[in-house]
């Protein structure tokens, strides 16, 4: 416990220590946080987004022109009709840990990708490599089971990154590659930092540092880019704000096509959706233009099949199912559903999916299909829709390039099956002739459209917003990653950044402990040891009961975190091993005792999502939430108490009534709405404060304070209203009492009466409220943190629920509940010290 406190204080010291703003640091916004950082062992698109072509590199890369360029390989030859490939490797390249890159690393990488327990997204494809051998250190040969014309292209994708054989076990948390940037730090739930690799084999990067901030929320993304907390947001989640951002002279927009197709996936295993006529009817019922206008603010291109329009192999099939609700109804009648039917549309969290889904549901209702929307978090979506196929419809962006092969997969989530399609895919795979491949790809698209395999909605645009001064970033579109190697700020010199200064946190904690003990001793002397012991006993019992309630509630929560973490193909053995690692094995009582014992030692467990100690996560977040709560408490006191005193001293006057009215209205104002209004006026209108976002420690004290001003005000106002009312009522009662009349009769001045007699007697109820407000400010700030996109404790809890990271939820809830209990204990104590009659009254 003490240790945690010491760490916390050190962190706060680092946080507020001024540091120089480095102009060679790029702040990048990305929507999703990667679950780990090994692109060769996971499907999450966020992994390559931060780690590929930055930390890791492949043998080849895809250029903006959709052609292959050399990277770690300098060239290649193909023979035996596409069955034998030889790659010449770049000489003298080293991994970040100093290990050399050579043929053995390449072979080890692909052996690992193809291994039996591999979670590489293309593991099956890598198993087609029947033999690999080194021809000297700088040349490697691959023999494939079948001729494969697409093999070199696959080597340019992120799951083909070359990894150092000696460091494979820790790549997920400490990635090591050959790229122009090295891994530096990862603040879970908030940001990830990469530093320039000074010994890069090619031209070193211009940027000294890249910080990725994870922002999925459209509001927060808008606030962060508008306030300058981010320099670039390559896949911006709030298309409706682009028109406004485009007018900002500081920013420029980069709107590019992606490889992603947004589809309305239909579970066609059974029911109405197994009927081709119904699927065609649905395709006719959808107005793609309205979806693009309504959900994407007009950005996006309608598609008619599972293929991106910018590809040279694209065939425009949007005319196959033109928007025609009348025809859709007719087809439904023909299919035997003249009165429609009901479907469940399950939507994942991204805003494009939620908005598109809402519009699609309305359009389908218009042709008589009753659609019920269910909004799911990612883990639930993966489990229900992707794994267990418990859905009728879903909206999802298939972002991967060349992913038409999913329609040939056995038992893929939407359940499309077509021998004709499988035959086309087999032909494509066997063909290395570009003209023949072009023809086959056209056939593939037509087949999917003809079968209405899904309803194809629009090509997801890549909506980029960036600071105008940034140059040199090029979009490596087919592989979904940006290349930051040549990125730089125009006119930026070499910036210097300095670390923060530490503080003797431990000694400070000891001082706090001594003060607390002294306070207790004093209270014991004045109020009696028995009273104090009973209070402490009640405190301990309440804390214990609280922890039991939290533990029981969260242990009946559905869903196995280990199964969710390991994903689709996890073996029962792996799940059991992870259970043990996370402390989820054993009977409930043993688990509870283990948890409590850990908590008492400052060990809050390991986060399911991030695989790091929860205590560290909480400490990072407290560095934001504590100053926020403390600032708001002080401001509320500074405004509320004087206002209440003023009103009580002039009872039934205009002043009293005005203060009473303002306080009443203040009580009804939601603090998060007040936050939005403050943003509207003081950030967007007057530009005095940032609209949101937390600039990070390196920004310096003044930037940090500026970022906290509006949230503190929003949080404090309703609390000030409460304090004003309580002060008014309490002081008003006291001022009417006889002893005040006596004091006045003695000839004491009004000020003396107020300070010496009235205020001390009126303080108890005010203190009680303050005691309730402090925990509220810590927990209740979640909404205000959401408005201003601050990485605080409350948002950690909300994020953790989204990720079903129950161990983190458990820890945060326990911490907040404990704060409440301890705060009310301290208030009891303070009240008793001010007025010992309280102790006698409650001392049963």
Partner 1 sequence: MRRIDPALATGAALTALFVLAALIAPLWTPYDVAAIDIAARLQGPSTRHWLGTDQFGRDEFSLVMAGASVSLGVAGSAIAAALALGVPLGLVASARAGWLDDTLMRTADVLFAFPGLLLAILLSAVLGPGAIDAALAIALFNVPVFARVARGAALPIWSADFIAAAQLAGRSRSAIALAHVLPNMAAPIIVQASIQAGLALLGEAGLSYAGLGVQTPAPSWGRMLADAQTLIGTAPRLAVVPGLAIIIAVAGFTLLGDGLARASRGKGKH
- Report how far residue 74's alpha carbon sits from residue 56's, in angstroms, rounded to the nearest whole number: 17
Q: How far is the CB of 676 from partner 1 (least distance, A)?
A: 5
Residues whose CB falls within 8 Å of the CB of residue 652, separated by 6 or more in sequence, listed in order: none
How does 435-447 read in b/e, with b if 16+ C-beta sit within 10 Å?
eebeebbbbbbbb
* Position 764 contacts partner 1 (CB under 8 A): no
Residue in 243, 540, 576, 597 binding partner 1, rule: CB under 8 A: 243
Give me the phi and psi of 85, to 5 degrees please.
Answer: -120, 140
Contact call for residue 838 and partner 1 (CB under 8 A): no
- Which residue's CB is nearer to partner 1, number 346 or number 697? 346
Q: What share of the chain is helix, strand, coil (3-state, %, to 5)?
A: 50, 15, 35
- Does residue 141 touch partner 1 according to CB under 8 A? no
Within 211-240, which residues bind partner 1 (CB under 8 A)?
Answer: 218-219, 222, 238, 240
Nearer CB in complex with partner 1: 318/417: 318
**Nearest alpha-carbon partner for 614 in 390, 809, 387, 411:** 809
Kindly give the pairing relationship between strand 470-471 and strand 474-476.
unpaired
Using DSSP bridges, classify how beta strands 455-467 and 301-302 pair: parallel, antiparallel or unpaired: antiparallel
Instruction: Verify binding: residue 806, partner 1, rule CB under 8 A.
Output: yes
Which residue, 129 or 565, is less far from partner 1 as judged by CB?
Answer: 565
**Contact status: 776 vs partner 1 (CB under 8 A):** yes
522 binds partner 1 (CB under 8 A): no
Residue 75: strand pairing partners: 88
Nearer to partner 1, 435 or 556 (CB): 556
Quick one: which of 460, 550, 735, 763 contacts partner 1 (CB under 8 A)? Answer: 550
Stretch that binds partner 1, among 148-156, 409-417, 633-641, 786-794 (CB under 8 A): 786-794
How many residues of this chain interact with partner 1, rule: CB under 8 A?
A: 70
Rounded CA separation 474/490 (Å): 15
Say how far apart CA 14 and CA 528 lie, in whole Å: 42
Q: How far is the CB of 473 from partner 1 (least distance, A)?
A: 24
Q: How far is the CB of 624 from partner 1 (least distance, A)?
A: 17
E-only strand ranges, 39-175: 60-62, 68-70, 73-79, 84-89, 129-134, 139-144
**Stretch near partner 1 under the rule CB under 8 A, chosen from 269-277, 542-550, 566-574, 624-632:** 542-550
Strand 25-30 relative to strand 209-214, pairing: parallel
Contacting range for partner 1; rule: CB under 8 A; set: 265-273, 286-294, 561-569, 754-762: 286-294
**Structural tokens at position 541:** 């019992």
Q: Which two tokens stand for residue 158?
A: 């992120």
Q: Please identify, among the stretches 79-87, 197-205, 451-459, 538-546, the one whose residues bind partner 1 according to the rule CB under 8 A.
A: 538-546
Provide the residue count of the chain: 844
Q: Pull the structure tokens for residue 708.
A: 């906290």
Nearest to 783 by CA among 793, 791, 772, 794: 794
DSSP H helices, 389-528, are 419-430, 434-450, 505-527
* Gap between the Cα atoms of 627 and 793, Å rounded: 12
Interface region with partner 1, contact rule CB under 8 A, candidates 484-492, 537-545, 643-651, 744-752: 537-545
Residues 262, 267, 271, 274, CA torsion sign = positive
Residue whose CB is less far from partner 1, 174 or 664: 664
- Piece of 173-181, 262-270, 276-284, 793-801 that binds partner 1 (CB under 8 A): 793-801
514 binds partner 1 (CB under 8 A): no
Closest to partner 1 by CB, 177 or 302: 302
According to the binding rule CB under 8 A, does residue 301 interact with partner 1? Answer: no
Residue 375 pairs with which residues in a beta bridge? 347
Q: Of 65, 249, 319, 556, which one interacts with partner 1 (CB under 8 A)?
A: 556
Beta bridge partners of 482: 475
Among 1, 533, 557, 705, binds partner 1 (CB under 8 A): 557
Q: What tokens were used for 157?
A: 């994708």
Member of 665, 688, 701, 841 binding partner 1 (CB under 8 A): 665
At its nearest, how many Å lie between partner 1 and the CB of residue 684?
Answer: 6
3-state secondary structure of 452: coil
In the complex, minimum distance from the CB of residue 558 to partner 1, in angstroms, rounded to a whole number: 8
Q: Is-contact 399 258, C-beta < 8 A?
A: yes
Residues that bind partner 1 (CB under 8 A): 218-219, 222, 238, 240-241, 243-244, 287, 290, 293-294, 354, 358-359, 361-363, 365, 373-375, 380, 538, 541-542, 545-546, 549-550, 553-554, 556-558, 664-665, 667-670, 672-673, 676-677, 679-680, 684, 775-776, 779-780, 782-783, 786-787, 794, 797-798, 800-801, 804, 806, 809, 813, 816-817, 820-821, 824
């Amino acid at each position: 416990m003490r240790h945690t406190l010491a760490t916390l204080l050190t962190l706060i010291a680092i946080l507020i220590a001024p540091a120089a703003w480095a102009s060679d640091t790029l702040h990048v916004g990305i929507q999703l946080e990667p679950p780990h950082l090994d692109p060769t062992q996971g499907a999450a698109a966020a992994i390559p987004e931060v780690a590929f072509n930055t930390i890791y590199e492949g043998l080849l890369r895809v250029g903006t022109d959709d052609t292959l360029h050399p990277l770690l390989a300098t060239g290649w030859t193909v023979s035996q009709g596409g069955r034998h490939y030889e790659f010449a490797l770049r000489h003298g390249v080293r991994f970040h840990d100093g290990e050399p890159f050579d043929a053995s690393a390449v072979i080890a990488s692909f052996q690992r990708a193809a291994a039996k327990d591999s979670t590489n997204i293309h593991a099956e494809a890598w198993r087609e490599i029947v033999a690999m051998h080194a021809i000297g250190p700088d040349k490697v040969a691959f023999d494939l089971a079948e001729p494969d014309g697409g093999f070199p292209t696959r080597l340019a994708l992120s799951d083909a990154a070359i990894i150092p054989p000696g460091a494979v076990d820790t790549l997920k948390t400490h990635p090591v590659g050959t790229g122009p940037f090295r891994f530096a730090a990862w603040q879970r739930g908030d940001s990830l930092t990469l530093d320039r690799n000074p010994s890069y084999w090619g031209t070193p990067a211009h940027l000294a540092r890249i910080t990725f901030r994870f922002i999925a929320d459209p509001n927060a993304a808008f606030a962060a880019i508008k306030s300058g907390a981010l320099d670039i947001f390559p896949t911006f989640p709030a298309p409706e704000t682009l028109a406004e951002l485009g007018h900002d002279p500081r920013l420029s927009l980069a709107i590019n096509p992606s490889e992603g197709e947004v589809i309305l996936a239909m579970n066609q295993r059974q029911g109405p959706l197994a009927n081709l006529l119904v699927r065609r009817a649905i395709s006719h019922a959808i107005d793609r233009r309205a979806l693009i206008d309504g959900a994407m603010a007009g950005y996006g291109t309608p598609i008619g099949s599972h293929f991106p329009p910018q590809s040279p192999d694209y065939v425009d099939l949007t005319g196959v199912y033109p928007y025609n609700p009348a025809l859709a109804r007719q087809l439904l009648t023909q299919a035997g559903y003249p009165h429609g039917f009901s479907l469940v549309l399950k939507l994942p969290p991204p805003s494009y999916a939620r908005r598109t889904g809402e519009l699609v549901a309305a359009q389908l209702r218009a042709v008589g299909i009753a659609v019920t929307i269910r909004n799911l978090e990612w883990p639930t979506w993966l489990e229900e829709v992707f794994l267990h196929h418990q859905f009728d419809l879903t909206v999802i962006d298939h972002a991967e390039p060349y992913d038409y092969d999913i329609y040939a997969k056995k038992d893929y989530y939407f359940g499309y099956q077509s021998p004709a399609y499988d035959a086309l895919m087999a032909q494509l795979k066997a063909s290395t002739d570009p003209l023949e491949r072009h023809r086959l790809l056209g056939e593939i698209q037509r087949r999917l459209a003809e079968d209405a395999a899904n309803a194809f909605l629009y090509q997801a645009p890549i909506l980029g917003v960036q600071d105008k001064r940034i140059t040199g970033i090029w979009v490596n579109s087919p592989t979904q990653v940006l290349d930051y190697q040549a990125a730089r700020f125009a006119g930026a010199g070499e910036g210097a950044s300095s670390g923060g200064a530490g503080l003797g946190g431990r000694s400070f904690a000891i001082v706090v402990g001594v003060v607390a003990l002294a306070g207790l001793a004093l209270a014991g002397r004045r109020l009696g040891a028995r009273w104090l012991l009973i209070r402490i006993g009640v405190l301990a019992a309440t804390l214990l009961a609280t922890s039991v309630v939290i533990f029981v509630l969260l242990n009946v929560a559905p869903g196995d975190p280990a199964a969710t973490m390991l994903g689709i193909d996890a073996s029962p053995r792996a799940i059991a091993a992870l259970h043990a690692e996370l402390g989820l094995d054993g009977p409930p009582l043993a688990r509870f005792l283990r948890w409590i014992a850990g908590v008492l030692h400052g060990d809050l467990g390991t986060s399911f999502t991030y695989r790091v100690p929860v205590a560290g996560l909480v400490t990072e977040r407290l560095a934001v939430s504590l100053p926020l709560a403390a600032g708001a408490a002080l401001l509320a006191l500074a405004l509320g108490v004087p206002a209440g005193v003023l009103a009580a001293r002039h009872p039934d006057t205009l002043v009293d009534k005005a203060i009473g009215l303002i306080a009443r209205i203040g009580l009804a104002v939601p603090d998060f709405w007040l936050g939005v209004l403050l943003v509207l006026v003081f950030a967007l209108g007057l530009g005095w404060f940032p609209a949101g976002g937390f600039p990070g420690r390196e920004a310096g004290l003044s930037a940090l304070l500026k970022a906290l001003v509006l949230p503190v005000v929003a949080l404090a106002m309703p609390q000030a209203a409460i304090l004003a009312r309580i002060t008014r009522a309490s002081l008003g009662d006291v001022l009417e009492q006889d002893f005040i009349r006596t004091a006045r009769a003695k000839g004491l001045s009004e000020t003396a009466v107020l300070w010496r007699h009235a205020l001390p007697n009126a303080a108890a109820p005010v203190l009680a409220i303050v005691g309730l407000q402090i925990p509220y400010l810590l927990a209740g700030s979640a909404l205000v943190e959401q408005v201003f996109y601050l990485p605080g404790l409350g948002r950690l809890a909300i994020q953790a629920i989204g990720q079903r990271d129950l161990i983190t939820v458990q820890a945060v809830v326990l911490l907040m509940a404990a704060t409440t209990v301890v705060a009310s204990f301290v208030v009891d104590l303070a009240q008793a010290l001010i007025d010992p009659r309280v102790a006698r009254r409650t001392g049963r």
